[in-house]
């Protein structure tokens, strides 16, 4: 939309016969907008088939993110030439200039999606346009080029179709899709990149957590480290949001014996999200109402596709109150003490829905009811999504791969 406005502005100036004079930075922005506006097209897709096909792994023994298919999608961009023709090529290493700005200044973004082989053997994506929009939002935030969302979706569909035999014949394993964009500008200057590379790699995955597909996890409510803050980039799916969480995550596992960190914010210890999940709590609020509550999207929280889907499902049911608002660990502690929490669970593409069994907070273990002694909302939501994703339930949320 910004590129359209800029184009109209310069069109009006030149139409009235005036000479356009602007700062070099503005000219650079105009060129970037115009180059981005002319998106790559799926109709220009070039395919180079691999001559060295790999054996398929056992779908029952997959480790998340370790296996990749035979092909990948690659699309290059430059500020002078714009987007180049998309290419599907044999899976392999990338060649990067050592001064590439993504390596030095974290100018990169990624997405996470899945393809599901349904009970009818059809391959489906789940709400992929939500991921495409979020990817564009992330690109705009870190000065990377934008693109036509539908064209990328078509290109990815061709990639998945080509490697369709890699999609597990299973309802517990899926094909993970990782669209990524990196700045490849060969310069150490801190500035908008003049070169970028968009690529998509895919591979079969099993459950994200080593504990299994639907086993409860223990969280460590970290009062020392902060994942995101107001005015920052917590809402975007950028690598710089994830790298700094690795060290605290290692400490949570090795020293606190927890699987994930529950990230807090501010002196009031507002609950934000879990390392790889949005967080939701089903409880009886202080007004005596049954309520599903999750932190609001205030810029510090990733707008998860699974999160959005669960909120829409539960609001459609109309069985209890559904609220997006900030809440604190003090509220959680009080609710645990008063036995008002029915259950708590994470939500995300990688884990889908994951129950929480306990939260370690300031040295105290807060026990959370789970599917064995709780309200079973997490199980119900998991089954609802699972049925849609694997084709047991028809829904306009799915996108079929031809």
Neighbouring residues of 337: CB distance < 8 A, sequence distance ≥ 6: none
DSSP secondary structure letters along 371-402: TTTS--HHHHHHHHHHHHHTTSS--TTEEEE-
pLDDT tens across 51-97, in order? 999 999 998 888 889 999 999 999 999 999 999 999 999 999 999 99
β-strand partners of 252? none
CB 397 within 8 A of CB 388: yes
Q: Which helix (H) or strand (E) holds 305?
A: helix 305-317
pLDDT tens across 120-139, in order? 999 999 999 999 999 999 99
Cα–Cα distance for residue pair 275/245, rounded to 1 Å: 8
Distances (CA, A) of 393 to 120, 129, 313, 318: 11, 20, 13, 20
Q: What is the average pLDDT value for the chain, to the nearest integer? A: 91
Query: Do the strands 321-324 and 290-294 form a parallel or antiparallel pair, or are they unpaired?
Result: parallel
More confident residue, 160 or 214: 160
pLDDT tens across 188-244, in order? 999 999 999 999 999 999 877 665 557 899 999 999 999 999 999 999 999 999 999
Residues 155-172, mean pLDDT to the nearest whole number: 97
Radius of gyration of the chain (CA): 23
Residues 298-317, mean pLDDT to the nearest whole number: 98
Q: What is the pLDDT of residue 12?
A: 41
Cα–Cα distance for residue pair 56/206, rounded to 1 Å: 14
Q: What is the model's pTM?
A: 0.89
Q: How confident is the model at residue 360 (pLDDT cuts 50, 70, 90)?
A: very high
């Amino acid at each position: 939309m910004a590129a359209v406005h800029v184009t109209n502005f310069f069109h009006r100036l030149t139409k009235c016969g005036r000479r356009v004079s602007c700062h070099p930075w503005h000219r650079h922005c105009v060129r970037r907008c115009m180059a981005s506006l002319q998106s790559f097209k799926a109709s220009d897709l070039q395919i180079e088939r691999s001559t060295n096909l790999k054996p398929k792994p056992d779908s029952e023994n997959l480790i998340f993110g370790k296996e990749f298919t035979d092909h990948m999608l690659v699309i290059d961009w430059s500020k002078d030439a714009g987007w180049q023709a998309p290419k599907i090529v044999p899976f392999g290493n990338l060649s990067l200039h050592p001064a590439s700005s993504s390596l030095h200044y974290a100018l990169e973004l990624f997405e996470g999606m899945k393809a599901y082989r349904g009970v009818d053997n059809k391959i489906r994506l789940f709400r992929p346009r939500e991921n495409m929009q979020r990817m564009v939002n992330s690109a705009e935030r870190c000065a990377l080029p934008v693109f036509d969302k539908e064209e990328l979706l078509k290109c990815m569909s061709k990639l998945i179709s080509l490697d369709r035999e890699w999609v597990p014949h299973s309802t517990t394993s899926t094909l993970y899709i990782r669209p990524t964009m990196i700045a490849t500008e060969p310069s150490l200057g801190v500035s908008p990149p003049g070169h970028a590379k968009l690529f998509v790699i895919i591979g079969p995955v099993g459950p994200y957590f080593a504990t299994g597909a639907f086993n409860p996890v223990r969280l460590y409510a970290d009062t020392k480290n902060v994942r995101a803050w107001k005015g920052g980039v917590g809402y975007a799916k950028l690598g710089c949001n994830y790298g700094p969480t690795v060290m605290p995550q290692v400490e949570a596992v090795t020293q606190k014996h927890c699987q994930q960190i529950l990230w807090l914010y501010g002196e009031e210890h507002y609950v934000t999200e879990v390392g790889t999940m949005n967080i939701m709590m089903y409880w009886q609020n202080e007004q005596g109402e049954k309520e599903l509550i999750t932190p609001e999207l205030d810029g510090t929280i990733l707008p998860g596709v699974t999160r959005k889907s669960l909120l829409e499902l539960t609001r459609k049911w109309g069985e209890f109150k559904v609220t997006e608002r900030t809440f604190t660990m003090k509220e959680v502690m009080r609710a645990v003490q008063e036995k008002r929490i029915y259950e708590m669970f994470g939500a995300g593409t990688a884990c889908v829905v994951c129950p929480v069994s306990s939260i370690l907070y300031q040295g105290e273990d807060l026990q959370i009811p789970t599917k064995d002694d709780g309200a079973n909302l997490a199980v119900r939501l998991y089954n609802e999504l699972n049925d849609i994703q694997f084709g047991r339930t028809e829904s306009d949320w799915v996108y079929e791969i031809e």
